Amino acid sequence: MTTFEELGLNSELISSLKDLGFVEPSPIQEKCIPFILNSKKDLIALAQTGTGKTAAYGLPILNQIKSNEKDLRAIILCPTRELCIQITQDIKDYAKHLKSISVTSVYGGSSIDLQIRALKKGTNIVVGTPGRVHDLIRRKVLRLQSIEWVVLDEADEMLDMGFKDDLDSILEQTPKTRQTLLFSATISKSVHSIAKHYMNDTEEISIGEKNIGAENVAHEYYVVSTRDRFEALKRILDHLPGVYGILFCRTRNETQEVADKLKRADYDTEALHGDVSQAMRTKIMDRFKHKKAGLLVATDVAARGIDVSNLSHVINYNLPDNDEGYTHRSGRTGRAQKRGVSISIISPREIRRIKELERIVGREIVFKKVPSGEDVCQKQINNFLDEIENTEIKEITNEQHFTEIADRLNKINKDDLIKHFIIHKFGHLLYANQNSRDLNADAKTFSPRKLSGEANSAVKINFGKKHGFSIKDIFGLINSNKNLKGIEIGKIDLMPESSAFSVEKDKVADVIKYLTGARYRGQKIIVTKGSEGSSYSTRSRSSGSSYSARSRSDRPSRGFSGNKKRFGRAR
Ligand code: ADP
Ligand code: MG
């Protein structure tokens, strides 16, 4: 195990990392820190969301700024104000034991005068959004001639958000001798073009497979007709007591509308989108971070840079317009070694997108049925009874209440008491869910089984991670073979020595026939049938590698009290 000391960081930074509880560097940090400390070459660093990119550039830059230095040495550009605030705070945390290093953040939607004043005092590092930084350069408050490092954090997002022109003019103002450090979760064409224009002699460090969803995230989808989307959402939420997550909507209007409707139905939710004022935003984020609200309804833009690491779920009320958006959204959960679930509610027409997304995230997206009203009752009641059973009994002094209560309740016979109790607590739930409609889209209009693997069978191939074999290679082998092209691939499991993937049962023979004897990196391919009688996805589930059977301890401890509130009223 490499330590932060071994990467060459000074003792002040090491003590800050101790304070923060960072025990060992993450993989992207392990590679980037020594590189930035020792090389003047430009860098493209690619790693998924939540892998610790801020420290990967922040630490080596801080390590090279002398205390009492007056000049502006580094500028960090990022897409949103939330991210700006977060990065600034992170850098300040790292710099805690360094003497007199100053970090200033500048972003839109906040008083420019205050930011100008802060800059005039002199600062070593500026963290800013491209629009505001450009503005400050034009006003000649921000001068970049002494800059040594330019960091483009979430470069792909900045370009997606239309900051290209601002970036162009900012980069033009920095000295040619600068080192440009580009950090991104995905590499798109526009990132390439920035690299081509503004970077030279570039090193690329990439951790994990680009565009691949985090290992800790399980993916699920529900198919409902568009008009039932909201009802289905409520059922899904009701079936997830303790959910703590973000619900993604496409537009500001939709975000507000869905949040309002949920609130009216007594769910504890908050809406976050571009029309929400900064003051409100702070309040909302505070409620959400402290789990006062279990569900944050948000647009993609508003959710960027929200750093909440223990989300149990990400829910796509609609699929995002592009595949990268899906990766970004699902990357919000499954962070900090915790498991997460990414749920999509789609219409039958969007089934094709699921297939495409499976390819992008490199794992199966599991088809799920919208729970019935009965399922919801069952789940809520069981959850409540679990809570009752597990209630910790603490010593209390005013015990006389117990006797009073017991005296009164003793007058009711036990069966009646249970009935009263159930109706009081769950009457509304039971009433609302009796004769409830099946919200699943008519299965005739789509074929989820094909995708989710139950009618699939596994094949084994004699290449694995050790040989550098990847998910892409599997798709490559299948699609470049004229007899196999277009075959649907289900769950893929890459093991060290070999790999397995599932295809429809009636395609197994073809896959064996046409791939065996073909070559991978010059070596002969051998394909065999996976173990008999067990469809691949079933097998992996029982071995515990699928997340569908989450243990109770995986659930967040406090949770989405919306359900309790909703069903807890006396009626
Ligand atoms: P990214 O920019 O890659 O999405 P961040 O830099 O925001 O990721 O880091 C994600 C989280 O991981 C943050 O809460 C951060 O404090 C934490 N973190 C970063 N590096 C480490 C480390 N080496 N050990 C423990 N936690 C870390
Ligand atoms: Mg980041």
pLDDT digits (tens, 9 = 90+) for 330-351: 888 876 656 789 999 999 888 8
Checking phi first, is residue 189 left (phi over 0); if not, alpha (psi -120 to 50) or beta?
alpha
Burial class (CB in 10 A: 0-12, 13-18, 19+), 334: buried
Ligand nearest to the CA of 51: 1
Quote the ligand 1 centre to 55 CA distance (angstroms): 7
**Strand extents, DSSP E, 224-286:** 245-248, 269-272
Q: How large is the average pLDDT for residues 550-560?
A: 32
Strand partners, 458: 502
- pLDDT for residue 549: 26
Q: State whether residue 227 is helix, strand or coil.
A: helix
The class (CATH top level) of 456-536 is alpha beta
Q: Please state the pTM of the whole predicted model.
A: 0.48
For 9-19, write each residue's pLDDT tens digit. 999 999 999 99
CATH architecture group of domain 5-206: 3-Layer(aba) Sandwich (3.40)
Task: Name which residue sits closest to atom 24 of ligand 1, judged by CA.
Answer: 22
**Domains 217-370 and 456-536 alike in fold:** no
Residue ranges with CB less than 5 Å from ion ligand 2: 53
For 93-109, write each residue's pLDDT tens digit. 999 999 889 999 999 88
Checking phi first, is residue 287 left (phi over 0); if not, alpha (psi -120 to 50) or beta?
alpha
**Strand extents, DSSP E, 189-244:** 202-206, 217-223
- Asked if residues 531 and 539 have their Cβ atoms less than 8 Å apart, the reply is yes
Domain residue ranges of the chain, discontinuous segments joined by +:
5-206, 217-370, 374-432, 456-536
- Asked if residues 50 and 214 have their Cβ atoms less than 8 Å apart, the reply is yes
**Hey, what's the torsion of the CAs at 390, 394, 400, 406, to 10 degrees?**
10
pLDDT for 451 beyond 70: no
Alpha helices in 64-218 (DSSP H): 81-94, 112-120, 130-138, 155-160, 164-173, 189-198
Q: How large is the average pLDDT for residues 374-398?
A: 86
Quote the ligand 2 centre to 456 CA distance (angstroms): 38
Q: In this structure, what token pair is assigned to residue 467?
A: 């040989």
Atom of ligand 1 nearest to the CA of 22: 24
Q: In this structure, what token pair is assigned to residue 512?
A: 């064996």
Cα–Cα distance for residue pair 43/26, rounded to 1 Å: 18
Cα–Cα distance for residue pair 7/533, rounded to 1 Å: 51
For 396-427, write each residue's pLDDT tens digit. 778 788 888 889 899 999 999 988 888 888 88
CATH architecture group of domain 217-370: 3-Layer(aba) Sandwich (3.40)
- pLDDT for residue 7: 96
- pLDDT for residue 337: 57
- pLDDT for residue 208: 67
Atom of ligand 1 nearest to the CA of 20: 16
Mutate to test the pocket of ligand 1, among 3, 4, 22, 80 (most ligand atoms within 8 A of CB): 22
For 145-164, write each residue's pLDDT tens digit. 999 999 999 887 888 778 88
Cα–Cα distance for residue pair 514/461, rounded to 1 Å: 12
Quote the ligand 1 centre to 14 CA distance (angstroms): 15
Mutate to test the pocket of ligand 1, among 76, 91, 307 (most ligand atoms within 8 A of CB): 307
- Asked if residues 331 and 48 have their Cβ atoms less than 8 Å apart, the reply is yes
Ligand nearest to the CA of 29: 1
- Asked if residues 43 and 182 have their Cβ atoms less than 8 Å apart, the reply is yes
Classify the C-alpha dihedral 299-301-307-311 as positive or negative: positive
Q: How large is the average pLDDT for residues 73-79?
A: 96
Task: Name which residue sits closest to atom 20 of ligand 1, judged by CA.
Answer: 52
pLDDT confidence band for 167 (50 / 70 / 90): very high
Quote the ligand 1 centre to 25 CA distance (angstroms): 10
- pLDDT for residue 186: 75
Atom of ligand 1 nearest to the CA of 29: 23
Quote the ligand 1 centre to 422 CA distance (angstroms): 45
pLDDT confidence band for 455 (50 / 70 / 90): low
- pLDDT for residue 558: 29
Report residues whose beta carbon is within 6 angstroms of any ligand 1 atom.
22, 25-26, 29, 47, 49-55, 307, 309
Q: How large is the average pLDDT for residues 214-222?
A: 84
Q: How large is the average pLDDT for residues 357-368?
A: 84
Task: Name which residue sits closest to atom 16 of ligand 1, judged by CA.
Answer: 52
Task: Name which residue sits closest to atom 1 of ligand 1, judged by CA.
Answer: 50
